[in-house]
A = this chain, B = another copy of it.
Amino acid sequence: MIDANHIETLRALLGEKGLLTEPSDMAAYEAGARYDKGRAAFVARPASTQETSAVVSYCVKNGIALVPQSGNTGLVSGSTPDSSGQEGILSLDRLTAPFALDRVNRTLAAGAGLRLSDVNQRLEQAGLFFPIDLGADPRLGGMIATNTGGSRFLRYGDVRRNTLGLTVVLADEDGTVLDLGSGLRKNNTGVDWKQLFIGTSGAFGIVTECVLNLEPLPRQTATAFLVPDAADRVPDLLVAMEDALGSYLSAFEGMSKNAVEAALAHAPSLRNPFQGGIVPDFVILAEISRTSPPREGEQLLDAVLEEVLAAIWEREDAPLADAFVGPPHEMWALRHALSEGVKHSGRLIAFDLSFRRGDIMRFLDHMKAEMPAHFADVTICDFGHIGDGGVHFNLVVPADDPRLADEGFESALREWVFKVAVEDFGGSYSAEHAIGRKNQVFYDRYTPDEIRRLAKGLKAITSPAPLGCVTF
């Protein structure tokens, strides 16, 4: 039990701004972005690594469970307390220092509580950015804990690839601080320990600071909508585009007809860009970009893209039914509207899956064919990142569907989708959302015994006290 003494000690450690205990102050921290609502014993808001260490040490010694919370924008119940009122939230939101740009090294040393949008706004005048492109606006610590990917993964990779250093506080009696890397790009002097804290939901330690790789901002961009000849031609189209464009290609996003129609219905300001207003079964948003500024005598990127598409089009066995280049802003606006559109088209049951790139369309086709026999009146509104294998596999059920009252319905649906994705197609049940309470059951089911044993061993040597929402 957490008593007044504990609260008093924590307040002494953290100061007035550093500890919230009033229900009205805590409410925003107790509810997740889309799911969940728990109850916290307190919200600790340390303003430095040292304060974080002090709080963690105190809580470990006193048996107080902590849930680290970053931007709280995650979708798998990974950053909110349970309903007991006995867990404390450890919020990163005051860990906003340092913000130290090393222009020559092309790195940023940053507090884990900084928001992605804030970081990139402050970097803009240096012509650099942290190249993770997301719909949400998380804080850095949470991006590291989930190893987010996003829409430009194909070009820039995930958070893991762009993390050069971490400062981590372990959940042990000392609140041990690990200084892991300091911006070296090459360093092979033992285990690269920072890798263990990336994508592991904060269970092995709390990230308080990081050193990030930055990339030059793109200075030219061109986009096109591509309509494949048939779903099973999408892999050919991807290979043809990569063959012709190499590393110019910065996005290759798939959008189903159902998702596009949901977005157009929800956001009437969006222009329907398709001939006769007829949305094709499946559309690819392809983007090419260059970080170099336009140079005299050089073809504009729009023309490059037109030419490449024309060459693919002219092939005897062209995988294209239609293709047109258009303004990047407008094309991305449609892509970015999919998530909200789908959410508003009924009750959304969302999956964040990934596959080998050649298996995505096979999986989608399979599900389209099998869904009616397994679950009637469930609409598949998928979209995702074909270029890196990620699929936001969204299922929509009419909002007034009586089955929604039955808890077993959603869980039967989840069971079936995960079974097909993981067991039949060798996919992942969490591409870029990590585990959280929501995926715990699937971690327990699909993780081989020897890996679970290793994870338990690792937990024991790093952060033996409970930390966060996942039990490894």
Residues on B with C-beta less than 8 A from A461 are: 453-454, 457-458, 461
Q: Are B246 and A184 in contact (CB under 8 A)?
A: no
Q: A9-17, A85-93, A187-195, A261-269: which lies at the B interface?
A: A187-195
In the assembled complex, how far is the CB of residue A240 from the closest CB belonging to chain B, in whole angstroms?
A: 11
Q: Which of B107, B246, B431, B446 contacts A292 (CB 8 A)?
A: B246
Known A-B contacts A192-B198, A246-B216; the reply to A428 vs B149 at CB < 8 A is no
* A102: Cβ under 8 A from any B Cβ: yes
Q: Which of B160, B246, B356, B426 contacts A219 (CB 8 A)?
A: B246
Q: Are B304 and A356 in contact (CB under 8 A)?
A: no
Q: Are A184 and B105 in contact (CB under 8 A)?
A: no
Within 8 A of B (CB), among A81-108: 102-107
Q: Are B189 and A435 in contact (CB under 8 A)?
A: yes
* A344: Cβ under 8 A from any B Cβ: no
Residues on B with C-beta less than 8 A from A52 are: none
Q: Are B186 and A158 in contact (CB under 8 A)?
A: yes
* A462: Cβ under 8 A from any B Cβ: yes
* A290: Cβ under 8 A from any B Cβ: yes
Residues on B with C-beta less than 8 A from A178 are: 450-451
Within 8 A of B (CB), among A350-367: 354-358
Residues on B with C-beta less than 8 A from A102 are: 356, 358
- A187 to B435 Cα, complex, angstroms: 10
Known A-B contacts A426-B182, A461-B457; the reply to A188 vs B433 at CB < 8 A is yes
Within 8 A of B (CB), among A270-314: 290-293, 295, 297-299, 303-304, 307
Residue of B nearest to A187 (CB): B428
Q: Are A291 and B247 in contact (CB under 8 A)?
A: yes
Q: Which of B184, B291, B304, B458 contacts A191 (CB 8 A)?
A: B458
* A183: Cβ under 8 A from any B Cβ: yes
Within 8 A of B (CB), among A186-236: 186-193, 195-196, 198-200, 204, 215-216, 218-219, 235
In the assembled complex, how far is the CB of residue A357 from the closest CB belonging to chain B, in whole angstroms?
A: 5
Q: Are B161 and A161 in contact (CB under 8 A)?
A: yes
- A446 to B179 Cα, complex, angstroms: 13
In the assembled complex, how far is the CB of residue A285 from the closest CB belonging to chain B, in whole angstroms?
A: 18
- A149 to B107 Cα, complex, angstroms: 19
Please, could you name 25 A-B residue pairs with CB atoms under 8 Å apart, sorted by A?
Answer: A103-B239, A104-B357, A106-B242, A107-B356, A127-B243, A147-B188, A153-B186, A184-B356, A184-B389, A184-B428, A185-B354, A185-B388, A186-B390, A187-B428, A188-B431, A188-B433, A189-B434, A190-B455, A191-B204, A191-B451, A192-B198, A192-B199, A247-B290, A298-B304, A461-B461
Given A190-B435, A191-B199, 13 other A-B residues pairs in contact with their CB atoms under 8 A: A102-B356, A105-B358, A178-B450, A184-B427, A186-B354, A186-B385, A186-B388, A190-B199, A191-B454, A192-B199, A216-B243, A248-B292, A298-B298
